[in-house]
Structure 1
């Protein structure tokens, strides 16, 4: 199930085949627990209704469906942006990736994300800089199905993140995380649902990854990474059911004892992002948690709703 990657930063120039995808994901929670952020840079946006429609006609070009999704969570009001753009608005090299006015760059030691987006559904400027400083770059990636169509690489499980936003005015820092997923087939063809979470521990980061494959088999990963990037698998504790979201998306998490939702950050018809309090390896941990229902995502009514949160620009 594992593979290896060079011990360097992300390769934004990687080949992404027709109907395929690649995304780079960053999240962080502030040290005071009051703020959070999640950023996903997509080539072949897996949740794009436009990309899904294009694939129905013929093999579709993933570079024609790129986006940088930015979600800012704060006490004074959340902000969310995800504008899809065509290949003419995209430029990339090994260490840089730009989609419209926003871009990511890797300097060998840190990842800098310059964001300049318009939030939805209420239009507003979302502008600023997020800097991620990995404590180590891991070398192990994971195949999520036997055919090798889907792959996950936890690039920097242990990291510090600095957030400096001009609009809205916001400044904080906290523990963060950086990974990437890629595949050569649509995500919904490989999986029906998944639960994923990560949390900072006293000496590293714990990651839990559970997914139901379309063939009925499962992905069940439980691991820790120390600050040097060394991985240690552990036996996952029992599954604990969490409360469903307002959209009735099921949520669950592995925990040594009772777990609870601290806050629901995103509540969409097919997806939820939450802060969860749990216990792993005998230690209390606050998890950034994701629940995804790809059966829900495929429903025509959900596809019809998505453009309201995911507009597409001409450039």
Structure 2
């Protein structure tokens, strides 16, 4: 999010896109053959891009990743993301450079399921970001978050749903991660991170209800006083939502970025049929 609160940005590099209908229909035999760079701008202007690409359009080294014409490069202090994509559903050019500067790194990933088949690593919970886009013309700087996820089986095999939120604190960040597993058990992670990335578990805040989305997706969060509200709607899909909230975490008034995911909805045949309209895959 920008320091003035007017702009937001999400970038996700997928190797084996977990939301890809093409990957699901293929039987998930080759994850690299279903890669994509998802880029979303919030505020004004808005933009969405997520073109899936085959293995021959992916190039990886220990410090870089290229998916089609977009790339990520790590030089030891800064992650430089170069974007060159086409938006959907209305095509227009989306190009620019994003620089993420981590304040520090967390020591290890967390496992989300009892079988340890899914791993989440909030690598740099407190980072700074500089955004410079030429198309559309846009420049800003703000606070950022950088993580990685990997798994050995499809998400829907292990989970029914989850809610997640990340809030910037005066010193560091807080992340709340509530996971409903497929076997009926739950995992509730409530974490505070120092600016250098050191994690400090905290007592889970009180559950706080949120209104359903436009697609009637259930969602909830946590707050010190059990109160939270939706400030802005970023994404509203049949199976997923991303929002900006107002809440109280670790004794501070904060504006967390919040997401809810319903895996049963994701796997519904009608939803799978709808997804290619937002996630095109060119031939070749």
Task: Return the TM-score normalized by structure 1.
Answer: 0.89
Once residues 156 and 136 of structure 2 are traced to their aligned partners in structure 1, the CA distance between those partners, rounded to angstroms, is: 34
Q: Which residue number corresponds to residue 263 of structure 1?
A: 232
Q: Give 1:226 shift.
A: 0.7
The RMSD of aligned alpha carbons is: 0.8
Please state how far the C-alpha of 1:84 moved relative to its aligned partner.
0.3
**Offset at 1:164?**
0.4
Deviation at 1:196, TM superposition (A): 0.5
User: Counterpart in 2 of 1:3?
Assistant: none
- The match for 1:91 among 59, 76, 86 is 59
Match of 1:73 among 19, 42, 48: 42
CA contact (8 A) 2:107 2:198 kept: no
Q: 1:51 aligns to what SS in structure 2? A: helix
TM-fit CA distance, 1:313: 1.9
CA–CA distance in structure 1, aligned partners of residues 176 and 270 of structure 2: 31
Are 1:157 and 2:125 an aligned pair? Answer: yes
Match in the other structure for 1:273: 242
**1:287 and 2:256 matched:** yes
Unpaired runs of 5+ residues, structure 2, are none
Matched, 1:41 2:13: yes
2:282 partner SS: coil
**Residue correspondence of structure 1 range 1-315 to structure 2 within 5 A:** 29-55=1-27, 60-74=29-43, 76-257=44-225, 258-315=227-284
SS in 1 for 2:246: strand
Cα distance in 1 between the residues matched to 2:12 and 2:88: 16
- Which runs of 5 or more residues in structure 1 are unaligned? 1-28
Tell me which stretches of 4 or more aligned residues in structure 1 moved more than 6 Å. Answer: none
- Whole-angstrom distance in 2 between the partners of 1:241 and 1:50: 35
1:37 and 1:312 map into 2 onto residues whose CA distance is 23
Q: Deviations over 1:246-267 (max 9, x none)?
A: 1111111110121100001000
* 2-structure distance, mates of 1:175, 1:207: 14
- Number of residue-to-residue matches in the alignment: 283
Equivalent-residue separation in structure 2 for 1:248 and 1:158 (angstroms)? 32
Q: Which has the higher contact order (CA 8 A, sep 6+)?
A: 1
SS of the residue corresponding to residue 273 of structure 2 reads helix
1:314 Cα deviation from its structure 2 partner = 2.9
